[in-house]
């Protein structure tokens, strides 16, 4: 999202941003790890109407693909897991999740074997 103007440096690791009115429920001070240096490019702008912040100020990341599968061996059982690609084109994250949980919440990712990309 953004870019947004920096209003002030709060401390060495926190900055206050000038957020638009539609983000008034979000606290305007951010840790530097949540910020990125901005290099002007009109294609980078995400409209704030495309981001839906819930009342408790959280959002839900949606998985975009299953990248791999494996069976994690525990002491007395085996747990099938899947490598999941989360997020948007701007921010991507990869985690290992329980296959059963992912299948129940996001069955569309398992509709065909073509959706699983072996690494």
Query: Does 68 lie in the same domain as 42?
Result: no
**Residue 55 domain flag:** no
What mean pLDDT value characterizes the chain?
79
Across 53-64, average pLDDT: 71
Q: Which of 102, 92, 61, 93 is closest to 111 using CA atoms? A: 102
Instruction: Give pairs for 66-71: CB < 8 Å, separation 24+.
Output: 66/102, 66/109, 66/110, 66/115, 66/116, 66/117, 67/94, 67/116, 67/117, 67/119, 68/116, 68/117, 68/118, 68/119, 69/99, 69/116, 70/96
**Residue 78 domain flag:** yes
**Residue 56 domain flag:** no
**Residue 54 domain flag:** no
Q: What's the predicted TM-score (pTM) here?
A: 0.47
Query: Does 67 lie in the same domain as 110?
Result: yes
Residue 119's pLDDT band, with cuts at 50, 70 and 90, is: very low
Question: Does the CA dihedral 25-29-34-35 come out positive or negative?
Answer: positive
* pLDDT for position 63: 87
Query: Does 103 lie in the same domain as 75?
Result: yes
**Residue 18 domain flag:** yes
What pLDDT, in 10s, does the model give residues 9-47?
Answer: 998 889 899 998 888 888 889 898 888 877 766 666 656
- Domain span at 83: 63-115
**Residue 90 domain flag:** yes
Whether 58 shows a pLDDT value over 70: the answer reads no
Residue 64's pLDDT band, with cuts at 50, 70 and 90, is: confident
* Domain count within the chain: 2
Exposure string (b/e) for 28-45, b if CB count within 10 Å is 16 or more?
A: eebeeeeeeeeeeeeeee
Query: Does 67 lie in the same domain as 27?
Result: no
End-to-end CA distance of the chain: 30
Query: Does 67 lie in the same domain as 33?
Result: no
Query: Does 44 lie in the same domain as 9?
Result: yes
Residue 70's pLDDT band, with cuts at 50, 70 and 90, is: very high
* pLDDT for position 45: 61
Residue 59's pLDDT band, with cuts at 50, 70 and 90, is: low
Query: Does 74 lie in the same domain as 31?
Result: no
**Residue 57 domain flag:** no
């Amino acid at each position: 999202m953004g870019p947004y103007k920096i209003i002030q440096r709060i401390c060495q690791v926190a900055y206050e941003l000038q957020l638009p009115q539609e983000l008034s429920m979000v606290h305007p001070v951010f840790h530097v790890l949540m910020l990125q240096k901005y290099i002007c490019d009109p294609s980078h702008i995400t409209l704030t109407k495309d981001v839906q912040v819930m009342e408790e100020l959280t959002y839900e990341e949606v998985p975009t693909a299953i990248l791999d599968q494996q069976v994690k061996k525990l002491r007395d059982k085996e747990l099938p897991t899947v490598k999941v690609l989360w997020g948007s084109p701007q921010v991507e994250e990869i985690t290992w999740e329980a296959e059963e949980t992912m299948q129940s919440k996001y069955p569309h990712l398992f509709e065909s074997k073509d959706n699983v990309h072996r690494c």
